[in-house]
Amino acid sequence: MAGPSDDPDRTSASGGDYIAGDKVGGDKVLGDKIIFVRGREVRLPGPETVRRHLDAIRENPNYNRWVDDRYVGGVALPMRVAPYPTKLDHEPQRVDLLQAISDAQHCIILGEPGIGKTTSLERLMWAAAMRGDLMPVYVRLAEYKPDEGRTFPDLLRRGLNSEGVLHLPDPETLMLWLHNEEAPPILWLLLDGLNEARPDLVPSLLEAIHSHSRDFPAHRLALTCRTADWGNILNWPAWEVQELVDEAQRWGR
């Protein structure tokens, strides 16, 4: 009797990087897709699992602590950014972060240590989860260590798994899911701390980011870096975080 690995309909994908079989089943409640990968059963998250994942982000205190719940449904407390670089003879034009990058496919968020770069990504996590059409994933770039198996796809996988709803066992499964023709998730990659990555690994890290962007042009990317370490490494629109003021200070958050 032929086993899964002997299935004549099994197909190669992504230049032979992984082998994916036909759909062999599905979870009728969650809508998860179940396939075989080299004879191993793999579950690809379906619409209900994605919804539960976004719900978990909305309820995560690391993200919803910045929500002004005086309004029905909650709105994000304002966080001011200014275009970078700022002209020396002009007062910086401060705008709200969410407004500034609302239409940006790629952007850089700069700032001095402790001013709120990571906080800006927390806000974007919550905002994306509230939208519902984007799946945000927070990644600490300091953890990029490909020689230890912490490749860029592995960091994405770990970030997606961090809410405890998604269970992507390896980068291979993540790629299968992202290439899923039925309902591919649209990620918003929130990449924190380029300046915290090992200097000798920054070139390969940037190439991995570019590679992901080429493979998945619909995905959005926001990357933070300390202003002094930036040097216009990427030709993306850049914004610099301003001091936390106004409502954020009054609410003591």
Number of domains in the chain: 2
Strands (E), 165-235: 187-192, 220-226
- What pLDDT is stored for residue 248 in this prediction? 46
Res. 15 pLDDT band, cuts 50 70 90: very low
My answer on whether 141 and 21 are in the same domain is no
* Torsions phi, psi for 36 (to 5 deg): -105, 140
- What pLDDT is stored for residue 40 in this prediction? 80
CATH of the domain at 244: 3.40.50.300
Name the least confident of 43-57, 140-154, 194-208: 43-57
- Which residue blocks in 32-143 are alpha helix, DSSP H? 47-59, 61-64, 97-100, 117-131
Report the share of the chain in percent with pLDDT over 90: 46
My answer on whether 108 and 134 are in the same domain is yes
My answer on whether 215 and 130 are in the same domain is yes
My answer on whether 99 and 39 are in the same domain is no
Average pLDDT, the chain: 80
pTM across the whole model = 0.81
- What pLDDT is stored for residue 76 in this prediction? 58
My answer on whether 127 and 242 are in the same domain is yes
Residue 243 pLDDT exceeds 80: no
Contact residues for 123 (Cβ-Cβ < 8 A; gap 6+): 63, 66, 76, 77, 79, 97, 98
Domain of 4? 1-44
* CA–CA distance, 246 with 251 (Å, rounded to integer): 9
My answer on whether 9 and 92 are in the same domain is no
Last residue of a domain, one of 44, 61, 77: 44
My answer on whether 30 and 51 are in the same domain is no
Last residue of a domain, one of 9, 26, 44: 44
My answer on whether 14 and 60 are in the same domain is no
- What pLDDT is stored for residue 23 in this prediction? 43
Res. 114 pLDDT band, cuts 50 70 90: confident
- What pLDDT is stored for residue 181 in this prediction? 67
214 against 181, higher pLDDT: 214
My answer on whether 23 and 69 are in the same domain is no
My answer on whether 34 and 131 are in the same domain is no
* Torsions phi, psi for 160 (to 5 deg): -65, -35
My answer on whether 93 and 159 are in the same domain is yes
Q: From the CB of residue 86, how many other CB atoms can be counted at a distance below 10 Å?
A: 12
> pLDDT for 157-179, tens place per residue?
999 999 999 999 999 999 999 98
My answer on whether 57 and 124 are in the same domain is yes
Name the least confident of 14-23, 111-120, 138-147: 14-23
> Across-strand partners of 191?
139, 223
> For the sheet containing 40-44, what is the strand order?
25-26, 33-37, 40-44
